[in-house]
Amino acid sequence: MSDRSTSFDPVPDPELGPALREALAMPHDGAFVTRLRALVRQRRERTWDEVLAGWFWRGVMATTAAAAALATGYTLLGNGATTGGTEESVAVQLLDGERPAADVILASWTSGQ
C-alpha cells in the first residue's frame, strides 16, 4: 500500500479491493442461488398464469363494455325518437296562440314542414 492519500489513483486498489471483497462476502452463495432459481421458475409459471388470467379478465371486461355501450346506444336512440315526437311543431305553437321562435320557423322552412 503506497502513499496515495494526496492524489486520486484511477485504478482499483490491488490491496484494498480484495480485502473489501473478503470483508463483504456472505456465506452460502450456493443456497441463495438455488432458492432464487426456484423463485425465478415459479415466477415464470405464475407469469403465464397471470397472462392467461389477464386475457380472460380483459375479455370479460371488453364484452361487458361492449354490452353496456350497446345498451346505452339503444336507450339513447329510443329516447331520441321519443323526444323528437314530443317536440312542438310550428303548427302546434300557432294553435296554442304562441308566437313561434325564429329557430323553429327556420327549421320548419328548411325541412319543408
Partner 1 sequence: MTGVDDAELAARAAGGDPEAFGELVARHAPMARRVAYAVLEDQEDADDAAQEGFLSAWQAIGRYDARRAFRPWLMQIVVNAARDLRRRRRVRTAEPRDHVAAASRDDPAKEAGALDLGDRLREALATLPERQRLAVVLFDAEGYPQAEIARMLGIPEGTVKSDVFHGRRALRKALGSVKEEWDE
Check residue 102 for interaction with partner 1 (CB under 8 A): no
Q: Which residue from 2, 23, 27 is spatially nearest to 13, judged by alpha carbons? A: 2
Residue 82 Cβ vs partner 1, minimum distance, rounded to whole Å: 54
Contact window for partner 1 (CB under 8 A) among 14-22, 55-63, 67-75, 105-113: 14-22
Residue 105, burial from CB neighbour count under 10 angstroms (0-12, 13-18, 19+): middle
Taking CB under 8 A as the criterion, which residues in 43-72 touch partner 1? 43-44, 47
Q: Does 15 bind partner 1 (CB under 8 A)?
A: yes
Q: Which is nearer to partner 1, 45 or 103 (CB)?
A: 45
Q: Which residues bind partner 1 (CB under 8 A)?
A: 1, 4-5, 8, 10, 12-13, 15-29, 32-33, 35-37, 39-41, 43-44, 47
